[in-house]
Structure 1
Amino acid sequence: MKYYNSVGPNPRVVTLFMAEKGIEIPEVMVDLRGGENRRPPYNVTVNPAGQTPALELDDGSFLGEIIAICEYLEEIFPETPLIGTTPEERARTRMWTRRIDLKICEPLTNGFRYAEGLPLFESRMRCLPEAAEGLKAVAQDGVAWLDAQIAGRDFIAGDRLTLADLMLFAFLDFGAGVGQPIDPAHTHVAAWYERMKARPSITN
């Protein structure tokens, strides 16, 4: 296999996922800032969506999308399960991952793309600068909602680390660096974030 990595929160989710599992896969760094992902051969051969990350399988085929890549890695490297070992665990992880993606990750990322990231993205995708502040507010609403949901527990989906935690951390950590920090009033999320920052997969 071969892992196509780059800067940004999306590939970082998979990088953290592999680190928590102790997986090492040969890596190719894609120049996202230079637009390598948006031109051939990458957007023809590797990922026609022109996005990172991507995973090249042993048969020469490719997977895109962070959830699909993590699901695949969970199947072939089941040790240190990060999605689940039972139907109930897997469903709970997928439920929380979906909620986090819709309520926080997507609006946070597009809020950045349409504002601070506009010089990089305006030539690559349809950008809506007028929506940036509203999207950032939607992401903060999502964090506020989550704060109440995780009161009294250490992890997002229950009593164990899952893909939901890794996904949320990658995006909130990105947000903290681009003008969308965690409101300290959200004490449960803030405490969770500090615990996540101390994990070896993140500090190494």
Structure 2
Amino acid sequence: MTIYEVENFPNPVRVRLALAEKNALDRVKFVPVDVMAGEHRSDSFRAINPDATVPCAELPDGSVIGRCTPITEYIDGAFEGTSLIGDTPLQRATTHMMNLRAEEGLLDAVGAYFHHATPGLGPDLETDQVPAWGLRQKARAQSTMRYFDGVLAKQPFVAGAVYSMADITLLAGLDFADLAGIEIDTDLTHLHAWREKVRARYQEN
């Protein structure tokens, strides 16, 4: 499998963390895409992924999977190890629900703030900015952080008792918030503690 990515960008990080959970990082080829130079918008890259986004995964048979959640679904089934999605219908449904809340309410909201209300990736890439929209999404991201603090006050991980794809998405969202200059309020003690616990998980690996 080949992963087209920009290393350390939030969504490619999600895929790398999923692969790390499956001890499969060394079984994948990573191909860098020069987003700053607009390579993702080129005809040659659009021929691989019409969405013009990273990451995307190209399989040995030539099939291409775009977007983090479908890629993670594939990784979860293709490699051995504890499921990141869940083993029962309820676990899978809960994981997807919480993953969407983390993705839409935090990671995507931070992205909107970053691209619309800050210089973002620079004037060549940040066209048609709407600063008011970005600021509204910053508030949404902060509200979502508070929501997840409440969730993590009651359970060890985002979707329940076990680590999942939803935790990966929340972690990536918080790291993106750091980059964008959105602070995590100090009173969100459960969220801070969870983040340190999850970071240690990858430092150990």
Query: In 2, distance between residues paired with 1:38 and 1:2?
Result: 19
- Find the counterpart in structure 2 of residue 20 from structure 1: 21
- Find the counterpart in structure 2 of residue 166 from structure 1: 168
Give the share of equivalent positions with the same residue, in percent. 35
Segment of structure 1 superposing worse, 125-134 or 79-88: 125-134
1:203 to partner: Cα distance: 6.5
Where does the alignment leave 5 or more consecutive residues of structure 2 unmatched? Answer: none
- Find the counterpart in structure 2 of residue 110 from structure 1: 112
8 A contact 1:118–1:127 mirrored in 2: no
8 A contact 2:117–2:129 mirrored in 1: no
Match of 1:36 among 27, 35, 39: 39
1:178 to partner: Cα distance: 2.0
- Find the counterpart in structure 1 of residue 141 from structure 2: 139
- Specify the SS of the correspondent of 1:55: strand
Counterpart of 1:148 in structure 2: which amino acid?
G
1:121 to partner: Cα distance: 6.4
- Specify the SS of the correspondent of 1:70: helix
Over 3 Å counting, the alpha-carbon distance change for 1:121 and 1:11 in structure 2 is: farther
- Count of aligned pairs: 202
**Are 1:3 and 2:7 matched, yes or no?**
no
User: Normalising by the residue count of structure 1, what TM-score does the alignment of the two structures yield?
Assistant: 0.91
- Find the counterpart in structure 2 of residue 47 from structure 1: 49
8 A contact 1:13–1:66 mirrored in 2: yes
Q: Deviations over 1:101-154 (max 9, x none)?
A: 222121111101112244536646643122222210111011112211221322
8 A contact 2:120–2:126 mirrored in 1: no
8 A contact 2:36–2:125 mirrored in 1: no
Over 3 Å counting, the alpha-carbon distance change for 1:87 and 1:42 in structure 2 is: same
Where does the alignment leave 5 or more consecutive residues of structure 1 unmatched? Answer: none
- Specify the SS of the correspondent of 1:171: helix
Query: In 2, distance between residues paired with 1:20 and 1:119?
Result: 30
Q: Deviations over 1:10-31 (max 9, x none)?
A: 1110111001111130110111
Counterpart of 1:3 in structure 2: which amino acid?
I
User: Normalising by the residue count of structure 2, what TM-score does the alignment of the two structures yield?
Assistant: 0.91
- Specify the SS of the correspondent of 2:87: coil
Counterpart of 1:32 in structure 2: which amino acid?
V
8 A contact 1:113–1:121 mirrored in 2: no
Query: In 2, distance between residues paired with 1:192 and 1:121?
Result: 36
